C-alpha cells in the first residue's frame, strides 16, 4: 500500500522538491506521476469521498494518504463534531483519551423496585429512564430517583453506587439511563437492569429539554403553574410530573 511520504526528487519524471509517495515496488514518485500510474484509492481503501470530506473540512490530506492516516483524521473530525477540538496533529493516544471523555457507560440494577412492580411490568428493554437528584433525602444525600417517561418513580440508583453520579449531576453533568433488561421472570419480584451513560462534556441547561428527553416526554403537554412550558422550538413539550421534577431539579442546580 501507499504508506509513506516524503519530499524529494521524483524517480519517474525527475522533478525535484516534490512531495513523494512510495510505491509497493519501493520507487518514490510524485503525485502527478502517481495519478498516471494508479488511481488514488484501491479497493478496500478508505474511499475517496471520505478524503474529499476531510479536505473540505480543512484537513491536509491528499488522495493517496494511507488508510491509517485517513482514519486518524476522520476520528479527529468526528470529535470536532461532538465539540472536542483536537489539532490535526493529534496522536492516537490523544484521540482515544478524548473519545473516552465524550461518554462513559456502565451497567447496574435499579434499587427499590419491590414497591413499584406495576411500573416495572410496563417497562421494555431500551426504554429511557430519567435520573433526578433528591438532595433533600433524609437517608441519603446522594439519592438519585429514576423516573419513567410519565414522571413516575420506578426506583433509585443503588445507594452503594450513587456517590460519584450524584456528585456529577450536582455539577450539571448530563446522564442518560436506559432499561437493559427486565429480570426475575420466574421469581416473585421483577428486577430492572439498566445502562447508564455519562456525558462529561454535556450540561443540563435549566428549562431546556434535550431532544432525547423531549422525545420521551412528548406524551402530554405539561403545565407548571398555569402555563405550558415549551423548552425550545421543535423540541416539543415536557410532560406531566416529569416536567415538574426536571424544573425542580434545574432550580436546585441553578437557583
Interface positions with Zn ion (CB under 5 A): 10, 12-13, 30, 33
Task: Give the contacts of 247 (CB within 8 A, at least 6 positions apart).
Answer: 207, 224, 229, 238
In angstroms, give the least distance from the CB of 52 to Zn ion.
23
Residue number, 30 or 169, with CB nearest to Zn ion:
30
The residue (of 9 and 114) whose beta carbon lies closer to Zn ion is: 9
> Looking at beta carbons only, is 32 or 100 nearer to Zn ion?
32
Nearer to Zn ion, 27 or 128 (CB): 27
Residue corresponding to grid cell 411490568: 121
- What's the min distance (Å) between Cβ of 25 and Zn ion? 14
Given the complex with Zn ion, which of 32 and 201 has the nearer CB atom? 32
φ, ψ of residue 153 to 5 degrees: the values are: -80, 120
* Minimum distance, C-beta of residue 11 to Zn ion, in the bound complex (Å): 8
What is the dihedral sign for C-alpha 59, 27, 11, 13? negative
Alpha carbons 217 and 224: distance in angstroms, whole number: 14
Nearest to 137, CA basis, from 102, 111, 119: 111
Identify which of residues 20 and 239 has a Cβ nearer to Zn ion in the complex: 20
Using CA atoms of 202, 191, 139, 242 in order, give the dihedral in degrees to the nearest 10: 50
Q: Which residues of 63-74 are buried (b: 16+ CB within 10 A; e: fewer)?
A: ebbbbebbebbb
- Rounded least distance, CB 69 to Zn ion, Å: 21
* Shortest Å distance, C-beta 35 to Zn ion: 10
Cβ 236 to Zn ion, closest distance in Å?
59
Residues 110, 194 contacting (CB under 8 angstroms): yes
Q: Which residues pair with 181 in a beta bridge?
A: 193
Amino acid at each position: 500500500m501507499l504508506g509513506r511520504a516524503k519530499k524529494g526528487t521524483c524517480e519517474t519524471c525527475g522533478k525535484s522538491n516534490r512531495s513523494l509517495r512510495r510505491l509497493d515496488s519501493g520507487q518514490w514518485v510524485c503525485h502527478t506521476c502517481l495519478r498516471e500510474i494508479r488511481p488514488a484509492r484501491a479497493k478496500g481503501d478508505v474511499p475517496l469521498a471520505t478524503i474529499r470530506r476531510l479536505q473540505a473540512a480543512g484537513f491536509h490530506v491528499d488522495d493517496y494518504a494511507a488508510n491509517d492516516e485517513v482514519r486518524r483524521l476522520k476520528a479527529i473530525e468526528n470529535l470536532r463534531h461532538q465539540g472536542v477540538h483536537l489539532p490535526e496533529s493529534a496522536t492516537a493516544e490523544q484521540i482515544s483519551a478524548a473519545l473516552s471523555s465524550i461518554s462513559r457507560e456502565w451497567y447496574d440494577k435499579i434499587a427499590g423496585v419491590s414497591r413499584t412492580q406495576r411500573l416495572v411490568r410496563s417497562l421494555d428493554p431500551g426504554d429511557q429512564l430519567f435520573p433526578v437528584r433528591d438532595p433533600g433525602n433524609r437517608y441519603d444525600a446522594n439519592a438519585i430517583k429514576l423516573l419513567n417517561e410519565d414522571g413516575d418513580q420506578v426506583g433509585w440508583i443503588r445507594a452503594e453506587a450513587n456517590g460519584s453520579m450524584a456528585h456529577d449531576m450536582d455539577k450539571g453533568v448530563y446522564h442518560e439511563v436506559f432499561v437493559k433488561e427486565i429480570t426475575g421472570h420466574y421469581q416473585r419480584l421483577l428486577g430492572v437492569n439498566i445502562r447508564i451513560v455519562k456525558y462529561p462534556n454535556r450540561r443540563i441547561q435549566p428549562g431546556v429539554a434535550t431532544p432525547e428527553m423531549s422525545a420521551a416526554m412528548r406524551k402530554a403537554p405539561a403545565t407548571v403553574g398555569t402555563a405550558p412550558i415549551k423548552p425550545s422550538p421543535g423540541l416539543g413539550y415536557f410532560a406531566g410530573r416529569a416536567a415538574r421534577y426536571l424544573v425542580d431539579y434545574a432550580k436546585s442546580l441553578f437557583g
